[in-house]
Amino acid sequence: KSHIYRILRSGEVRVNRKRVQPDVRLAVGDELRIPPVRTAEPQRPGPRSPARPIALPILHEDDALIAIDKPAGLAVHGGSGIDFGLIEQLRAARPDARFLELVHRLDRDTSGVLLVAKKRAALLALHASFREGEADKRYLVLVKGRWRDATRKVELPLTKFLTGAGERRVRIESDGGKMARTVFHRRRVWADAEPPVSLLEAELHTGRTHQIRVHLTHLGFPLAGDDKYGDFAWNKALAKDGLKRMFLHAWRLALSHPTHKRPLTLESPLPPDLAAFVARLDARNSPDAER
């Protein structure tokens, strides 16, 4: 399965001469190109190194789902050079579990609330909830610049593209882009910091790839530690000051439970590294606003 993801993400699989995502469905008449399959000479199988179990903090668990407090730096699944992601780790730790599937995804460097379904019916119900916009998804982000609006709605279309080096990116594009909606709420502003910085809550109304990051950069407020769309010189200064990764944390997810339909709210506090950086900002500067 990891190999399949790898050749899809690297562009070796093409449909109608175009790169495709893993969720693309084939239609009658599509032209499919796949790379040659090379099989090694049969060998006596030796003991395979299992996924190394790690402690995954559990925020909530019941018969239908598991809510995990995903740490930064851990991919949610294998592929693209990663043998074992979070879901593989979870399956290795629970060999008797009959069904464990990711409900949604978080970027490797994003921390916070991540849902895993324990039943197919729960997975389908949760997918429907996300698709219909019934799930309330909130992120905490630190950006460069003084954010002045208490609340700001952003509606900008996004499209995926490949850089000259073959790396996948997302950009604003009105012609053919998919509409992405984000609402930003001001939490705190350190106007006397150099440069000024702001802590925002991002409320997602769609779930496009890199949506928050691209919207913020387009608005002129690059996300702290973003190595794809951010301010690279600022990122280096942040790293020297102790912020070693992207400041993007999925702190809250509220939705109806897939089985009994009662409201379910899941919250993850800022992880220690991000909380410590905010504390350093407080120690050096005076925050202008807090909600």
Residues with active-site annotation: 107
**What is the spatial distance between Cα 6 and Cα 46, in angstroms, rounded to a whole number?**
24
Is the distance from CB of 207 to CB of 106 less than 8 angstroms?
A: no
CA distances from 4 to 10, 11, 102, 125 (A): 10, 11, 17, 26
Classify 90 as helix, strand or coil: helix
Residue type, 251: W
Chain CA centroid to CA 175, Å: 25
> Rounded to 5 degrees, what are φ and ψ at 3?
-65, -40
* CA separation, residue 288 to residues 125, 183, 187, 188 (Å): 42, 20, 9, 6
Structure tokens at 159: 């499209």
Q: How many CB atoms lie within 10 A of CB 232?
A: 11
Q: Going by C-beta distance under 8 Å and a sequence separation of 6 or more, which residues neighbour residue 61?
A: 67
Determine the Cα–Cα distance for residues 139 and 252; give it in Å rounded to an integer: 7
Rounded Cα–Cα distance for residues 211 and 219 (Å): 12
Residue 164, token pair as written in the block = 């000259």
With beta carbons less than 8 A apart as the criterion, state whether 170 and 214 touch. Answer: yes
